[in-house]
């Protein structure tokens, strides 16, 4: 459920940034723009921005409320927005332009993640099939021809061979997992 919520947040983040940018360009202050995001977008990002708006209503400054958002959500893309807003509030500048460029960056990052996931899907499915295949074949042979392995179970090398095979399967799974897992 946590991963699904993170994916939803990630998918909604560019739209939230765009709403912030449009609101700031229309002349609204930052707290009003944050409330607009909370009102316009569904859960989970709408709820998170509503919490930020409530924290600001009850006395927290923008930087602290945004840092709390970053701590609750724990995503890299949100940390970019938090950093941009904290720099803007301390130094000044055009937050709408900064957030507009961040929106483009987040959208491109989402596209890249989706593309990498699609390109690595074949490797992930190969890993799953290669991991299941020995057990499925053993089970199938046990059902079709129960005496296929016959007297082999009494040999002293069989337990060692089974343990070694299981370890090699685990090493192979680890290698395949690392080959298809990318940090973007």
Instruction: Indicate if 38 and 105 belong to the same structural domain.
Output: yes
Question: What's the CA gap between 16 and 44, in Å, rounded?
Answer: 11
Q: How many domains does the chain have?
A: 2
Whether the CB-CB separation of 55 and 42 falls below 8 Å is answered with no
Q: List helix spans (H) across the chain.
A: 2-25, 30-40, 45-57, 62-73, 76-91, 95-119, 121-144, 157-180
Residue 98's domain is classified under what CATH number? 1.20.81.30
ω into residue 44 within 30 of 0, thus cis?
A: yes
* pLDDT over 90 (residue 119): no
Residue 184: predicted pLDDT: 66
Tokens of 84: 């941009």
Confidence of residue 160 (pLDDT cuts 50, 70, 90): very high
Instruction: Indicate if 98 and 143 belong to the same structural domain.
Output: no
The stretch 55-82 carries a mean pLDDT of 86
Question: What's the CA gap between 74 and 17, in Å, rounded?
Answer: 17
**pLDDT per residue as tens digits for the range 94-103:** 888 888 888 8
* pLDDT over 80 (residue 59): yes
Question: What domain range includes position 152?
Answer: 120-180
Question: What's the CA gap between 176 and 129, in Å, rounded?
Answer: 12
* pLDDT over 90 (residue 163): yes
Residue 172 Cα distances to 8, 65, 159, 175, angstroms: 32, 45, 20, 5
Which of helix, strand or coil describes residue 49? helix
Instruction: Indicate if 21 and 96 belong to the same structural domain.
Output: yes
* pLDDT over 90 (residue 164): yes
Instruction: Indicate if 140 and 97 belong to the same structural domain.
Output: no
């Amino acid at each position: 459920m946590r991963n699904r919520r993170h994916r939803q947040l990630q998918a909604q983040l560019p739209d939230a940034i765009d709403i912030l940018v449009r609101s700031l360009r229309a002349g609204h202050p930052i707290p009003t723009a944050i409330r607009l995001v909370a009102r316009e977008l569904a859960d989970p990002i709408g709820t998170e921005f509503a919490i930020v708006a409530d924290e600001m209503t009850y006395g927290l400054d923008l930087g602290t409320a945004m840092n709390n958002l970053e701590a609750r959500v724990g995503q890299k893309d949100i940390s970019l927005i938090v950093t941009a807003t904290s720099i803007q509030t301390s130094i000044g500048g055009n937050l709408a332009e900064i957030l507009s460029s961040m929106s483009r960056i987040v959208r491109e990052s989402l596209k890249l993640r989706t593309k990498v996931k699609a390109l690595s899907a074949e490797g992930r499915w190969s890993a799953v099939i290669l991991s299941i295949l020995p057990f499925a074949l053993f089970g199938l042979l046990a059902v079709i021809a129960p005496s296929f392995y016959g007297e082999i179970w009494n040999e002293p090398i069989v337990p060692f061979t089974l343990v070694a095979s299981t370890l090699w399967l685990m090493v192979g799974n680890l290698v395949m997992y690392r080959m298809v897992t990318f940090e973007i």
